[in-house]
Amino acid sequence: MSEQSEKPYRPEFAILNGEVLPFAEARISIMAPGLTFAATVFEGLRAYWVEEEGQLHIFRLPEHLERLQFSMRVVEILPPPTNSELESQIIEVLRANEMREDCYIRVQTFVDDWGEMIATGPVGTSVICRRRPRIPAFETGKHFVVSSWRRNADDASPPRLKATANYLNSRLAGLEANRVGAGGAIILNRDGSVSEGPGGCIFIVRDGRLITPPVTAGILESITRGTLLLLADDLGLEASERDVGRTELYLAEEAFYCGTGQEITPILSVDQKPLGDGQPGPITRRLQAAYDGVVRGRDDRYRHWLTQTYD
């Protein structure tokens, strides 16, 4: 999968517990409950470099921090760092690494030191950034398969939380897809409806209308998904949030996978059944263009979604 095939990249500096350190020195205890019991939550954000402005724009930073607060509250990582502390650290890590290209930011909070399964602190925080250009599949699309793994349920390991524990399920689905030579996986929930992919949400197009599984289908409440629902409305496209059956995937004229990392990846086929003419479709292309305009600051209506890195 693309996430795996990107070249490994380590930033020069990371921030651990508020302190800027050389990346190699940012280390935590091997007995931290964040590691031993997966008491870790995180956010993945993107920042976009706009050459004409000499500016790096962080996309929807407050929304990501709000989601992180929600994850910390439910997993009980206490006391949580404040949004203003986290925002300052994100800007600081970008500046320390002199990021002047499209990049990815990962913020993690976890239970540190050595503790029991239900330990709530001490709270560790880490912030890293790394260069992350747009993936080529944004243009070319990928072939997907329906996974034999079922999505973890809201009453077991809730996908609404961005908790590292949930990524075991994603990893199993991703490994399986990779093994059969597919570019991505679509995971069904216990009811047999489409939930999402390992690291992004799914939209299909039927009869010219967009459909995406609801937030009760076992998905992360994706910021990209929310953004695209708004942009679809702006473009006069009809969009609904409702359950999607497996075989509807095969009926779709178009489909795409969306999230911060992959942005909008056209889905060319599902289980080797081509969608439409097997190429990225026109509605997908319109949304990609609108999204690009928003994240790169060309759409004045959404400038407030961008946080500037440099003064």
Ligand X SMILES: Cc1ncc(COP(=O)(O)O)c(C=O)c1O
Q: Which residues sit at the interface with ligand X, rule CB under 6 A? A: 44, 170, 196, 199-201, 220, 222-225, 259-261
Classify the phi-psi angles of 80: left when phi > 0, otherwise alpha if psi is within -120 to 50, otherwise beta: beta
Shortest reach from residue 87's CB to ligand X, in Å? 17
Count of CA atoms in the C-beta half-sphere (13 A) of 3: 20
Whole-angstrom distance, CA of residue 309 vs CA of residue 21 = 19
Distance of CA 253 to the CA centre of its chain: 25
Shortest reach from residue 20's CB to ligand X, in Å? 26
Could you tell me the two tokens for 161? 């939380």
Shortest reach from residue 175's CB to ligand X, in Å? 15
Cis peptide before 122 (omega within 30 of 0): yes
Q: Which is nearer to ligand X, 183 or 261 (CB)?
A: 261
| Inter-CA distances, 271 with 20, 141, 219, 290, Å | 46, 15, 21, 29
Q: Which is nearer to ligand X, 119 or 232 (CB)?
A: 232
Q: Which is nearer to ligand X, 63 or 271 (CB)?
A: 63
Note whether 267 and 141 are within 8 A (CB): yes
Q: Which is nearer to ligand X, 119 or 189 (CB)?
A: 189
Whole-angstrom distance, CA of residue 136 vs CA of residue 220 = 24
Note whether 239 and 232 are within 8 A (CB): yes
Active-site residue list: 162
Q: Which is nearer to ligand X, 148 or 272 (CB)?
A: 148
Shortest reach from residue 191's CB to ligand X, in Å? 18
Shortest reach from residue 21's CB to ligand X, in Å? 26
Q: What are phi and psi of 149, to 5 degrees?
A: -85, 140
Distance of CA 42 to the CA centre of its chain: 10
